[in-house]
Amino acid sequence: MRKSGLPWIVICVAILGLVLGGCAGKDGKDGLAGLNGTNGTNGTDGDDGTDGDDGINGIDGTGIAACQPCHSDTATFAVKAAMTQWNHSRHSSDAILWETNRGATSWCASCHNSEGFVAAVGGTPAIAEMPTPIGCRTCHAPHTNKNFDLRTTAAYTLKNAVVFNKGQGNLCANCHHSRTDVRAAFPADSIMLPIANERLGPHEGPQAEAYAATGGYLFGRIDPMPKSAHYNAAANSCVDCHMFKPLGTTVGGHTFSMANEEEGGDNLAACNQDDCHSSLTTFDRPTPGTLDEADWDRDGTIEGTQTEFDGLLNQLRVALVARGALNPEPGDLIDTSVPGRYPKNVVGAVYNFRLALKEGSRGIHNTKYIMTLMRLSLESLPPLP
């Protein structure tokens, strides 16, 4: 009987399947991603939090009425005019601002930049990190005072303890003074004194001392020094004349100039205002008086005040150069002191020469005082060897 071959066939098929399954190829690349599913439903909102504490109430506004005095059309025009005039003043000069950095002290900053002046007037002199020129907000504080009043009109005590109290000009005196106490510079018991450098004398701009008839060396004189009528005639001193109504933009007003150095001409309207002169045509008018009273340079002729000043100053210059105490060389050193040791009266005469020169008005601010001081200096010099 023949045996069936079916089991073997089954076995062979199984073996073939195992062999074919072990020889399968590598997996293919992933297929493209399917489309995103639909977003789920938003959750339910949470409960509201507790309200915070109320803030502090703000300050009530003042409305435009508080701004109008400065920012109305009329006031704006006036401010613009003042700024245009200021652009022609020495206060706007970069040279004035540059002096802020000399020595980097609050002493310089207090008058050579706006921030330093404001700090000094406030009683805390300081050096400004980013200084700006002397300008509107140096002398005014409109956003603090809500007007254009001056920042201060308090009387100013000069270095020699004399109180300068001449109205609005007190603000000017904060800077336009000698910064020197002449009493300390000339000890009573000294015979010879040193001149240490080329800058003997008052600091630049000693107008306050000259105007108030003080600040010079008097060679032992005890009689009061004379004052010109200008001292009593101008209640606000500097302001009454130097800020009289402007003529254009180069003289008067916030130029602070009496002479039009850019275009020529003087602001004689300031001199001819009410209760002053009436028909002045020049600053260089003769001083009223006799030959002995008005011929200050003793040349036998009464000339204009400024001409007399120039003649007398030059006489003093020649006398001091002859004694070796004043530099005659042209250039930056002209009219500077010569270091050395000299008789006290020679040093005093140099000091007074520099006061008269640096005061800047050629005798106008206080004619009698400045002329008498120079005559006294000449007459007190020791004779030449």
CA nearest to 230, candidates 173, 279, 276, 261: 276
CA nearest to 350, candidates 363, 341, 337: 337
Reduced 3-state DSSP string for the chain: CCCCCHHHHHHHHHHHHHHHHHCCCCCCCCCCCCCCCCCCCCCCCCCCCCCCCCCCCCCCCCCHHHCHHHHCHHHHHHHHHHHHHHCCCHHHCHHHHHHHHCCCCHHHHHHHCHHHHHHHHCCCCCCCCCCCCCCHHHHECHHHHCCCCECCCCCEECCCCCEECCCCHHHHHCCCCCCCCHHHHCCCCCCEEEECCCCCCCCCCCHHHHHCCCCCCCCCCCCCCCCCCHHHHCCCCHHHHHCCCCECCCECHHHCCCECCCCCCECHHHHCCCCCCCCCCCCCCECCCCHHHHCCCCCCCCCEHHHHHHHHHHHHHHHHHHCCCECCCCCCCCCCECCEEEEHHHHHHHHHHHHHHHHCCCCCCCHHHHHHHHHHHHHHCCCCC
**What confidence tier does 62 reach under pLDDT thresholds 50, 70, 90?**
low
The pLDDT score that the predictor gives to residue 102 is 60
| Choice among 73-82, 132-141, 302-311 with the minimum mean pLDDT | 73-82
- Asked whether residue 376 carries a pLDDT value surpassing 80, the answer given is yes
Q: Pick the last residue of a domain from 112, 145, 178.
A: 145
Question: Same domain for 100 and 215?
Answer: no
136 domain-assigned: yes
Question: Same domain for 119 and 192?
Answer: no
Residue with more model confidence, 134 or 40 = 134
Question: Same domain for 218 and 322?
Answer: yes
300 domain-assigned: yes
284 domain-assigned: yes
Give the span between the Cα atoms of 140 and 135, in whole angstroms. 9
Kindly report the number of other CB atoms within 10 A of residue 377's CB atom: 28
14 domain-assigned: no
- Asked whether residue 223 carries a pLDDT value surpassing 70, the answer given is yes
**What confidence tier does 22 reach under pLDDT thresholds 50, 70, 90?**
low
333 domain-assigned: yes
**What confidence tier does 180 reach under pLDDT thresholds 50, 70, 90?**
very high
Give the span between the Cα atoms of 193 and 183, in whole angstroms. 13
List, as own/partner pairs, every contact residues 178-181 make where C-beta atoms lie below 8 angstroms and the sequence separation is at least 24, other chains included: 178/202, 178/203, 178/206, 178/208, 178/209, 178/215, 178/355, 179/203, 180/215
Question: Same domain for 323 and 191?
Answer: yes
Question: Same domain for 347 and 222?
Answer: yes
Structural domain span for residue 236: 187-380
CA nearest to 160, candidates 112, 199, 210: 210
Residue with more model confidence, 257 or 25 = 257
The pLDDT score that the predictor gives to residue 322 is 97
What contacts 98, CB < 8 A, 6 or more positions away?
112
Q: Pick the last residue of a domain from 111, 129, 145.
A: 145
Mean pLDDT for the stretch of residues 136-144: 91
Question: Same domain for 99 and 208?
Answer: no
Question: Same domain for 242 and 328?
Answer: yes
Question: Same domain for 89 and 210?
Answer: no
| Choice among 5-19, 246-260, 270-284, 330-344 with the minimum mean pLDDT | 5-19
- Contact (Cβ atoms closer than 8 angstroms) between residue 327 and residue 197: no
Question: Same domain for 350 and 236?
Answer: yes
105 domain-assigned: yes
**What confidence tier does 177 reach under pLDDT thresholds 50, 70, 90?**
very high
- Contact (Cβ atoms closer than 8 angstroms) between residue 305 and residue 284: yes
Count how many domains the chain has: 2
CA nearest to 328, candidates 178, 198, 200, 217: 198
The pLDDT score that the predictor gives to residue 163 is 97
Q: Pick the last residue of a domain from 88, 123, 145.
A: 145
| Choice among 17-21, 106-110, 360-364 with the minimum mean pLDDT | 17-21
Q: Which residues pair with 140 in a beta bridge?
A: 150
Question: Same domain for 194 and 314?
Answer: yes
The pLDDT score that the predictor gives to residue 18 is 53
- Asked whether residue 71 carries a pLDDT value surpassing 70, the answer given is yes
pLDDT tens-digit map of 329-348: 877 788 999 999 999 999 99
- Asked whether residue 301 carries a pLDDT value surpassing 90, the answer given is yes
pLDDT tens-digit map of 75-129: 788 889 999 999 999 999 887 887 766 656 777 888 998 998 999 999 888 788 8
- What percentage of the chain has pLDDT greater than the value 70? 91
Question: Same domain for 258 and 326?
Answer: yes
> What's the whole-number average pLDDT of the chain?
87
What contacts 70, CB < 8 A, 6 or more positions away?
79, 142, 147, 148
363 domain-assigned: yes
297 domain-assigned: yes
The pLDDT score that the predictor gives to residue 332 is 78
**What confidence tier does 242 reach under pLDDT thresholds 50, 70, 90?**
very high
Question: Same domain for 293 and 343?
Answer: yes
